[in-house]
Structure 1
Amino acid sequence: MAAFDRVCAYARSVLRIIDARTGEPVDAAPARRGLTRIEAHPGGFDITALRVLLAADLLVRALELGGTPVWALLDAEREQAELRTGAAALGIRPFEDGRDAASGLGEAQVIHVVREGGAEPDGVRVAVAPAHSEAPSGDADPAALRLALLARRRSVPLQLDAAALADAQDTLVRWRRAVAGWSRQPSRPIPDEVRAELRTAWEDDLDLPGVLGVLRWVESAPDLPDGARFETYAYADRLLGLDLTHDLGALP
């Protein structure tokens, strides 16, 4: 596809997600500027619950980047304190308490983010496959755990082991150092084609592995100015929430 065609496709793009009830894609924000309510239903506190909350957080971020107002709610009858603490550690922004929240704010869309095989509330349902962890995160940066969770699509069961966490930690350290180095160069705009690739990936049912793939390409793409690499990573991180600018000013 020519660069001009990619830019046009980007301009017309809209976030579409798979409704687990029907298996069909739906617009996450069917009305322009209409309010979308996101309800997270994590169940009990475990790694799958954190994956549910992360999926909801990413959905909120993607909608906000597209200019859609969002109302984010947490529907949990137990272990709320543990869920909120775990979510905060992963850089998941706070949700309002949704147990007693009433509708009627004129929302154009209601999306429920649930465990695969979990409750089936009314409205669009986004299902998150189970996750299991064989290795404690230890002293690793919680952002590395977030990155490890982003590495697989939410519909795919995830088995986290020590190797996966170590790889995520190494990638996070490398990218943060690279971003800090690129920031020292003159700023350059994100190439239209790269921006379109990023948006195409995350607006396709929140394909986060696709977004990460674009960043891996940008990291070593020939003839791409470092200032453009920096702007690309900073832009993508508004969705990813990995604090990729963490090391700015830290390098000699």
Structure 2
Amino acid sequence: MPACARPPAYARLVLRITDARTGEPVDAAPARRGLTRVEVHASGFDTTNLRVLLVADVLVRTLELGGTPVWALLTGGRRQAELRAGATALGIRPFEDSPDVSAGLGEAQVIHVAGEGDATTDGVRIDVAPAHPENPGTSDGTDPAVLRLALLTRHHDTPVRLEEAVLDEARGTLARWRGAVARWARQPSRPVPDEVRGRLRDAWEDDLDVPRVLDVLRRVETEPDLPDGARFETFAYADRLLGLDLTRDLGAPS
């Protein structure tokens, strides 16, 4: 993966998402440095609603990586305390309680993130497909980061089944990557190759295609000509979006 000069297109993030109302791609941040309001709609406490919050968390992280200011709000219904506790366990950063935002704050864009079939008000909309099983209790005892990775392995418009095989694969991937990142960190640091950075950003700028981000990391993991220091920096950079705490085992005994 030879490094090359970074194209001007990567000077700043140009995130485009598919508006579920129209099926057309739209800019998530149409005005440079303009505020984007992300309004999350969660009607209760189950795995699908946790997935809604996770997609919103990835959206906020993506916008912030591009320097876009974000106002993130949660509009919910029942079992809000449980929903927020579950979100915290999954590494989802807190959302503000939704006040009366009818007047707005002069946002350049408003994006609603909701489960399929949930009603929202005007604005761009991201629909999140169901996650099964619906009862979060069925995943008791699972490392929350494993559950987060399992939910991220499918695009947000595709249903995901949290079967034991899916969780086992996520568990093995997470353990392998954390161990590899800890080993790579012992080598001299090298910058993220521009070509790799470009492919990562191409993926997450394209309707939050996190599964393609994961594919890029799998290739980086096994690319024979890439220095380990560059692998480390690549995984650390991508984890700003993924939120998997991939550097957790730095300094741990071999």
TM-score range, shorter chain: over 0.9
1:152 aligned partner: 154
Describe the superposition over 1:17-46 as per-residue Cα deviations: whole angstroms up to 9, x where unpaired.
Answer: 000010000000000000000000021111
2:43 aligned partner: 43
Per the alignment, in what secondary structure is the counterpart of residue 39 of structure 2?
strand
1:6 CA displacement = 6.6
Tell me the C-alpha RMSD between the 2 structures. 1.8
Letter in 1 for 2:156: R
Separation (CA, whole Å) in 1 of partners of 2:192 and 2:5: 17
Q: Which runs of 5+ in 2 are unaligned?
A: none
Per the alignment, in what secondary structure is the counterpart of residue 111 of structure 1?
strand
1:77 CA displacement = 2.5
Describe the superposition over 1:84-139 as per-residue Cα deviations: whole angstroms up to 9, x where unpaired.
Answer: 00100000000000144454322111000011111131100110011112893232
* Residues 77, 99 of structure 1: 8 Å contact kept: no
The answer on 1:195 being equivalent to 2:197 is yes
Structure 1 residues 193 and 186, CA, compared in 2 at 3 Å: closer, same or farther? same
* Residues 35, 71 of structure 1: 8 Å contact kept: yes
* Residues 13, 200 of structure 1: 8 Å contact kept: no
Counterparts of 1:55-94 in structure 2, within 5 Å, are 55-94=55-94
The answer on 1:230 being equivalent to 2:232 is yes
Counterparts of 1:1-252 in structure 2, within 5 Å, are 7-11=7-11, 14-101=14-101, 103-133=103-133, 136-252=138-254
Separation (CA, whole Å) in 2 of partners of 1:229 and 1:41: 37
* Residues 61, 240 of structure 2: 8 Å contact kept: yes
Describe the superposition over 1:27-84 as per-residue Cα deviations: whole angstroms up to 9, x where unpaired.
Answer: 0000000000000002111110001000100000000000000000000132110110
Letter in 1 for 2:46: D
Separation (CA, whole Å) in 1 of partners of 2:19 and 2:82: 28
Structure 1 residues 187 and 3, CA, compared in 2 at 3 Å: closer, same or farther? closer
Separation (CA, whole Å) in 1 of partners of 2:15 and 2:235: 20
Per the alignment, in what secondary structure is the counterpart of residue 153 of structure 1?
coil
* Residues 42, 49 of structure 1: 8 Å contact kept: yes
Separation (CA, whole Å) in 1 of partners of 2:11 and 2:3: 12
1:251 CA displacement = 2.4
- Tell me which moved more, 136-145 or 204-213: 136-145
Number of residue pairs matched?
251
Describe the superposition over 1:193-223 as per-residue Cα deviations: whole angstroms up to 9, x where unpaired.
Answer: 0000000000000000000000000001011
Over 6 Å off, 4+ runs:
none
Q: Which runs of 5+ in 1 are unaligned?
A: none
1:160 CA displacement = 1.2
* Residues 10, 200 of structure 1: 8 Å contact kept: no
Separation (CA, whole Å) in 1 of partners of 2:7 and 2:215: 19
